[in-house]
Amino acid sequence: MAPKFYHDDPVWADIDPLPQDDGGLHPLAAINYTDEYSEAMGYLRAVMANNEFSKRILELTEHVISLNPAHYTVWLYRAKTLFEINAPLRDEIEWLNPTALKHLKNYQIWHHRQTVIEALGSPDGEADFIDSMLEHDSKNYHVWSYRQWLVKRFDLFEGKGELEWTEQMVEQDLRNNSAWNHRWFLVIGGRDGRALDEETFKREMDFAKRLVRKAPQNQSSWNYLRGLARHANSTSALKDFALEFADLSRPDEIHSSHALDLLADILATEEDQKEEARQALDLLATRYDPIRAYYWNYRKGLLEQPGAVA
Amino acid sequence: MPAEMRLFVDKHVRYIQSLDTREDELEYWLTEHLRLSGLYWGLTALHLLRHPHALPRQEILEFVISCLHENGGFGAAPGHDAHMLYTVSAVQILATLDAFDELEERLPGVRQKIGHYMANLQDPQTGTFLGDEWGEHDTRFLYGALNALSLMGFLHLVNVDKAVDYIQSCANFDGGYGTGPGAESHSGQVFTCVGALTIAGRLDLVNQEKLGAWLSERQLKNGGLNGRPEKKEDVCYSWWVMSSLAMLKKLHWIDGEKLTAFILKCQDPELGGLADRPGDMVDVFHTVFGIAGLSLLQYPGLAEVDPV
């Protein structure tokens, strides 16, 4: 795109650009801009000093954002302008969509979007937008945080397809920890401590077990499964499930270090099973997760302490 | 020791010194929005490398002052709005340079102002901290505020108990912490939450076994650490993960030798600096956190870093 300048644009003839004030001349601080950015910033400083809110501010801020989207001051001034002049907020969202796709790791853009959607009072269209973002980076932290905000703000916990969508995301990539976290948020985390009913608990356990079986060496699904069990105080009930992947009588055929870890935890709480627990931890330290040998050996040490439970 | 298994101290010092002479490069002005933090990272790296005077003290001080606003906050660079993150960086730089008295002499009352700027960003309802008057919140700001306020002796200006409650509400089912209640566990956020609890003297609230296990699980077979389950390794997590483990006194739960080797492989042996992973472009952010990681691993010749 050709650079845009303001000095010869009649729309901006009334503005004297304000030069950068970098507090005097320090070699360490001197900031050298390209001419285009430097001029646009000069006009922006000038209109901000005048507290001007008008349609052309939207054009100017759009230009500066396209050059440097991480400049948080510009976003804040743009938001203020939108509300001052009652700009059509749907248009703002239309503009934000491709802009967000260009700058996947930018914080400001999400904050701005949240402000605009809050003012619109409706999540319509946001699910499609999020899908297009996740196509580029399915674990983008900003996107998932924003999704949580939408769920909470517009009460999308039940009956709005959110659970089904999460299932789809997890099935697409079993190792997408962000999707698992979102599931937890829907079922337990976002509900302000509301108790889990038996039916939901069973549904979620079955869900997690099914996906663990698909990829037994996946941290995310095991974390979810163990989190659920702990939440319902029923970790020991997972013993048979752990044995499916880690049978101590066949130490050459362990299919999951996470199953061994869980098994060791359960065995440590049982009478007369300390030796088996030690065996599981040994297998982890020497064969199935040796990079964490120090940790597994620490866990073994805990077994010696009477009454200690890992 | 093979040549690639050494830390190229002189090259890293020169790399950091060169950062502010690159004004004609596009990247330089694109990173203007975090200039003050960049300066803090560079300065810290130099201290860890035992070359604390490699950047000119007076010029740093002038630059920091040029980012100060009337309200007591600092922007990332002159002309940028005040923001919590850069105010924290400014305070950290001032503490490193031991320059609070000098600053106060030049601008009487400024310490109180800086302290109040940060204290006023605490949300009285939830106890967390906002990044600026516009309301973005993230446990990064909470940690930053407690860190900077404690450096200045101003912790009493805020409601520490309420902040602690908020951190507890960010604890997740897997033992980690996120940017806010319900947000996915992330090593960087674990550091901010554990750091804040350490400053508040409330590490007793952490499920230390579980969090320690989650943190040690961040180590991958190549020795590097990742930030979240099933993600790639990155040098910066050498700091976020290791400092958290250090605060929990569980540093020995990871394989230090393998991590040291991984960090050293991320060096640019020609021009200095460290990258996120071997072969990538270096930057000051990964340089300081890689070196700080090595310091926690007690790499010979480095100054000792405080994990908080």
- Chain B closest-CA separation from residue A273 CA (Å): 21
State whether A299 and A267 are in the same domain. yes
Cα A152 to Cα A114, A149, A189: the distances in Å are 12, 5, 11
Q: Do both A223 and A245 map to the same domain?
A: no
CB contact under 8 A, A31 and B181: no
CB atoms within 10 A of CB B76: 27
- Mean pLDDT along residues A223-243: 95
Sign of the Cα torsion B124, B126, B129, B134 reads negative
Residue reference for tokens 């590490």? B203
Identify the domain containing residue A302 by its residue range.
238-310
Is residue A272 in a domain? yes
| pLDDT at res. A32 | 52
Please check whether residues A175 and A201 belong to one and the same domain: yes
Residue A94 lies in a domain: no
- Point out the residue among B20, B29, B32 whose CB comes nearest to the CB of A28: B20
Q: Is residue A174 part of a domain?
A: yes
- The residue-averaged pLDDT of A172-176 equals 96
- The CATH number of whichever domain residue A197 belongs to comes to 1.25.40
Residue B151 to residue B168: CA distance in whole angstroms: 23
Chains A and B form CB pairs within 8 A to the count of: 157
**At which residue do the structure tokens 């120090």 appear?**
A294
8-state DSSP, A17: P
Give B146's contacts (C-beta < 8 A, 6+ positions apart): B155, B158, B160, B163, B195, B196, B199, B200
Reading the block at residue A189, the tokens are 């985390």
What is the enclosing helix (H) or strand (E) of A35? helix A35-49
* A143 in any annotated domain: no
- Residue among B80, B209, B252 minimizing CB distance to A310: B209
Three-state DSSP class for A156?
coil
Torsion of CA A27, A30, A31, A36, to 10 degrees: -120
**Final residue before a domain boundary, out of A233, A253, A273:** A233
Q: Are residues A195 and A260 in the same domain?
A: no
Instruction: Please check whether residues A228 and A259 belong to one and the same domain.
Output: no
A18 touches chain B (CB under 8 A): no
Pairwise CA distance, residues B79 & A181, whole Å: 39
pLDDT band for position A249 (50/70/90)?
A: very high
pTM of the model: 0.88
Sign, CA dihedral A86-A88-A91-A93, equals positive
Catalytic residue among A105, A152, A202, A209: A105
pLDDT digits (tens, 9 = 90+) for B178-196: 999 999 999 999 999 999 9
Render pLDDT for A33-47 as a digit per residue (tens, 0 to 9): 578 888 999 999 999
DSSP B170: T
> Is there a domain that residue A38 lies in?
no
What separation in angstroms does the CA of B7 have from each of B1, B2, B49, B257, B307? 11, 11, 10, 14, 21
Q: Name residue, tokens 């605490």.
A: B122
What is the interface pTM, i.e. ipTM, of the complex? 0.86
Q: Which pLDDT belongs to residue B25?
A: 54
B32, B57, B70, B211: which to substitute to probe chain A, counting the most A Cβ within 10 Å? B32
Handedness of CA A173, A175, A179, A184 (dihedral sign): positive
Considering A233, A268, A289, which residue would you say is the last residue of a domain? A233
**Mean predicted confidence (pLDDT) in B123-128:** 93
Q: Which of A233, A249, A271 corresponds to the end of one domain? A: A233
In a domain, A295, yes or no: yes
Residues A217 and A173 in one domain: yes
Q: Is residue A68 part of a domain?
A: no
Q: Are A166 and A222 in the same domain? A: yes
Domain membership of residue A206 (yes or no) is yes
Nearest-angstrom CA–CA distance, B213 and B197: 18
Total domains, chain A: 2
Q: Do A189 and B181 touch (CB under 8 A)?
A: yes
CB contact under 8 A, A139 and B231: yes
